[in-house]
Amino acid sequence: MHHRLDLQTVGSFSCHDITTDLQALIDRSGISDGLLVAVGQHTTTALALNENEERLLVDIERFFLELASPDRPWLHNDLHLRPGVPPDEPRNAHAHLISLMLGNQLTLPVVEGRLGIGRWQSVLLVELDGPRRREVLLTLLAGQRNDL
């Protein structure tokens, strides 16, 4: 089963909790056990499994923007040297680099009809070059329950 989650992000760097959306998909599917694969459809977003706590999210933003500052002279941002670049192309090398560090896909267990994540864990779409409309491709794979 495939589904596309579409959302509008806010801010140039922001975390969006999509855990409820993923659980709703599992509920609609009727799948009891299996896997949920989530793949961000953009090279300037990331998917992460972490705590959705306001102050931690600020720390995450600060941490990554210090590692890959938008103000550094990244070669990708030399738009005049890249052929065929549209006039509205953003200077977003830092967003691509952060996406590489965080990753852009998650494979999560579905156990007894529930997303198999920990109590304080949330699935976060991390916007790195927004605000924009973003999409996450979700695939649910039904498994066979086999208690070992």
**Across the chain, what does the average pLDDT equal?**
96
Which residue, 26, 5, 19, is CA-closest to 124? 19
Instruction: Give me the domains of the chain, ranges plus CATH numbers.
Output: 2-73+90-142 (2.60.120.460)
pLDDT over 90 (residue 147): no
148 falls in which pLDDT band (50, 70, 90)? low
Listed range (61-70, 119-128, 138-147) with the worst mean pLDDT: 138-147
- Residue-wise pLDDT tens digits, 39-66: 999 999 999 999 999 999 999 999 999 9
pLDDT over 90 (residue 140): yes
DSSP 11: S
Listed range (2-11, 66-75, 138-147) with the worst mean pLDDT: 138-147
3-state SS class at 97: helix
As a whole-number percent, the residues of the chain with pLDDT over 70 amount to 97
Cβ burial of 64 (10 Å; 0-12, 13-18, 19+) is: buried
pLDDT over 80 (residue 146): no
143 falls in which pLDDT band (50, 70, 90)? confident
Q: Give the integer Cα–Cα distance in Å for 65 and 98.
A: 8
